[in-house]
Amino acid sequence: MPYTGATEFVGREADLKTLHDRLQESNLLAITAIQGMGGIGKTELALQYAYGALAQDQYPGGVCWLRSREDIGTQIVGFARIYLDLSLPTELDLSQQVAYCWSHWREGKALLIWDDVSNYAEVQPYLPPRGDRFQILLTTRVDLGASVRQLRLEVLREEAALDLLRAIVTQGGEVKDLRFLEEIGGLERQLCQWVGYLPLGLELVGRYLARRKEVSIATLLQRLQEKRLEARALLQAEPGMTASLGVAAAFELSWQELKPSAKELAAWLSLFALAPIAWRLVQACLPEWNEEDLEDVRDEDLLGLHLLQPSEAGIYQLHQLLREFFAAKRQQMPAEAAMQQTLCRVMVAEAKQIPQTLTLDLIAQFTPLIPHLEEVATALTDCLTDDDLITPYIRIAWFYEGQAAYAQAQPWLEQCRATAETRLGKTHPAVATSLNNLALLYQSTGRYSDAEPLYVRSLQIREQQLGADHPATASSLNNLALLYQSTGRYSDAEPLYVRSLQINERQLGADHPDTAGSLNNLAALYQSTGRYSDAEPLYLRAVVIFHDQLGETHPTFQTVWGNFVEFLRQVIQAGQTAQLSDHPTTQDVLEQLRRL
């Protein structure tokens, strides 16, 4: 779960009890939502309840915290794998994996928390089955309707706001602060009013007073007043949030305390998505900074002023309102465009590390990267170079496809195609790549009739733009042949496989792994049609190439070797071993299979 930075939890005792009572009701799959404006303390209330419930072991089935702005299904599956030690069948797609998690969840009542829900329809598909063992808690800024029990949080009452402010400034009463005794005219009440009784604003100004003991409340109010117009302009993007003026002004106070390097770092952080940020990504954006200097700015300025929160080792996160505030400041900086371009280059370099085939370790490794890659693909497309344009979309899609989350992958590939066509033109090679990847997804989900025209168009573009003998053309030929083979159109597939093989042999060499891949695929086609004598030498060539080029422990070699063994097993079962040669490898494997 996220880190809770609350020094004192004041003014929400009744809300906490109400929340507890509602979650203990025995309704079947009753859903409770903490509702309220940004900065009101929805997430903090949920965290306080969750940590308290964990301490009292109220939920033996576990407490699962889900970030609604990220892919929910993969988070549920990841939680089940890591914390419940579930081993999920690999052949299931994402929705089936989630269903498997619900049916194999640890015994006992469990609490599931969706934080920052903006659209209830996006939550519904991932809800557990009806029953009283799963308690559902949402935090949201929006009204989710009558089907969800709402616990609306309002701004704190004046006395509760005063209690919270005093608790923060005096560190829970451990430190006496004469300013609350000496101030006249109810200035501390004016201060609470200025920040709109909003918990986030109260905490910021409270920490400011705790840190600057020489600053009177009157002086603080004067400083807030001086920032009024600028603060109002900063929060125009938050219509209807009457308390946001105070929050922005409080943020401005902290901003004015930052040295230029800290302001620059804050602006950089606002470029990332509203998700945990791996510090190494920040370092990659700022290679010219001394590593220790950068850490000092982070720790002494941003963490010291509570403008950044640590999440876990090497991971940090901005509050949503602070991110918006820093982004507004960044937009006033002359270097903003250069910053955006740098972030895009860093994210593209990271994206290129995502392979098309993923292991569980790789999924865990790349999961924290995905929200930021999605931010680039959504908000910073104009800052991507033409060469890099399609990379974020495709690698995001590969990440989801690698988990059988095809529904999550499809929109990214469709957007990839549209973006490439709009910027680069309908006949650009990058468009061919986007078409090819979208067709692969359609083929993986059995949508063969949708995949074929995309493969054909991709092939046509590559032949026209790159040439009939280009390796990319060979790839398109191979993929279209695979589709035809999958649908039983063997006579259509064979000439495409043959041509793909010939191109790879000419352009890449007879011993290249791509050539071996073509050999394997053509052999599989011949195997499917009973042409065992034609398939055998192709399999043998592919096995030798992959063994020599990749090694016998490489997954690709293991796959092709398995294909060859399965081929020989099929030949034995068909009683057609007479079609095979006397090649030593073939005869050795045949002998082993006969002994089984």
User: Do 567 and 537 meet the contact criterion of CB atoms below 8 Å apart?
Assistant: no
Mean pLDDT of the chain: 88
User: Do 316 and 308 meet the contact criterion of CB atoms below 8 Å apart?
Assistant: yes
* Lowest pLDDT segment from 47-61, 110-124, 159-173: 159-173
Q: Summarize the confidence of residues 401-428 as an average pLDDT.
A: 96
Residue 232, pLDDT score: 32
User: Do 42 and 36 meet the contact criterion of CB atoms below 8 Å apart?
Assistant: yes
**Who wins on pLDDT, 544 or 191?**
544
Q: What percent of the chain has pLDDT over 70?
A: 92
Q: Is 311 exposed, middle or buried (0-12, 13-18, 19+ CB in 10 A)?
A: middle
**Who wins on pLDDT, 225 or 591?**
591
Q: Summarize the confidence of residues 561-587 as an average pLDDT.
A: 94
CA-wise closest residue to 141 among 2, 43, 271: 43
Element (H, E) at 589: helix 584-595
CA-wise closest residue to 32 among 127, 97, 101, 125: 127
Residue type, 532: Y
Instruction: Say yes or no to pLDDT of 390 above 50.
Output: yes
* Lowest pLDDT segment from 4-8, 88-92, 337-341, 429-433: 4-8
Residue 244, pLDDT score: 34
**214 CB contacts (<8 Å, ≥6 apart)?**
none
Residue 241, pLDDT score: 26
* Lowest pLDDT segment from 61-75, 468-482, 524-538: 61-75
Instruction: Say yes or no to pLDDT of 284 above 90.
Output: yes
Instruction: Say yes or no to pLDDT of 233 above 50.
Output: no
Yes or no: domain 509-596 corresponds to CATH 1.20.1110.10: no
Q: Summarize the confidence of residues 263-279 as an average pLDDT.
A: 96
Q: Summarize the confidence of residues 577-596 as an average pLDDT.
A: 92
Distance CA 485, CA 587 (A): 28
**In this structure, which topology does domain 13-152 adopt according to CATH?**
Rossmann fold (3.40.50)
CA-wise closest residue to 268 among 219, 340, 196: 340
Instruction: Say yes or no to pLDDT of 38 above 80.
Output: no
Alpha-carbon distance values, 135 to 98, 103, 127, 226, 553 (Å): 16, 15, 10, 47, 46
* Tokens describing residue 53: 């419930």
Q: Summarize the confidence of residues 194-223 as an average pLDDT.
A: 82
**Who wins on pLDDT, 424 or 255?**
424
pTM, two decimal places: 0.75
34 alpha-carbon distance from chain centroid: 24
476 alpha-carbon distance from chain centroid: 30
Alpha-carbon distance values, 473 to 84, 250, 469, 490, 508 (Å): 46, 59, 7, 20, 13
Domains 13-152 and 509-596 share a fold: no
Dihedral sign for Cα atoms in the order 44, 46, 48, 50: negative
Instruction: Say yes or no to pLDDT of 229 above 70.
Output: no
Band (pLDDT 50/70/90 cuts) for residue 224 is confident
**449 CB contacts (<8 Å, ≥6 apart)?**
none
Angle formed at CA 74 by CA 72 and CA 78, multiple of 5 degrees: 115
pLDDT digits (tens, 9 = 90+) for 335-386: 999 999 999 999 999 999 999 989 899 999 999 999 999 999 999 999 999 9
Instruction: Say yes or no to pLDDT of 145 above 80.
Output: no
Band (pLDDT 50/70/90 cuts) for residue 27 is low
Instruction: Say yes or no to pLDDT of 247 above 70.
Output: no
Domain ranges of the chain: 13-152, 158-256, 267-333, 509-596
The CATH architecture to which 267-333 belongs is Orthogonal Bundle (1.10)
Element (H, E) at 140: strand 134-140
Q: Summarize the confidence of residues 84-104 as an average pLDDT.
A: 91
Residue 211, pLDDT score: 78
The edge-to-edge listing of strands for the beta sheet with 31-35 is: 63-67, 110-117, 134-140, 31-35, 149-152
| Total Cβ atoms within 10 A of residue 18 | 13
Residue 534, pLDDT score: 96
Residue 205, pLDDT score: 81
DSSP state of 579: G
Residue 324, pLDDT score: 80
Instruction: Say yes or no to pLDDT of 493 above 70.
Output: yes
* Residue showing tokens 């009558």: 146
**Who wins on pLDDT, 339 or 254?**
339
pLDDT digits (tens, 9 = 90+) for 505-549: 999 999 999 999 999 999 999 999 999 999 999 999 999 999 999
* Lowest pLDDT segment from 20-34, 256-270, 503-517, 568-582: 20-34
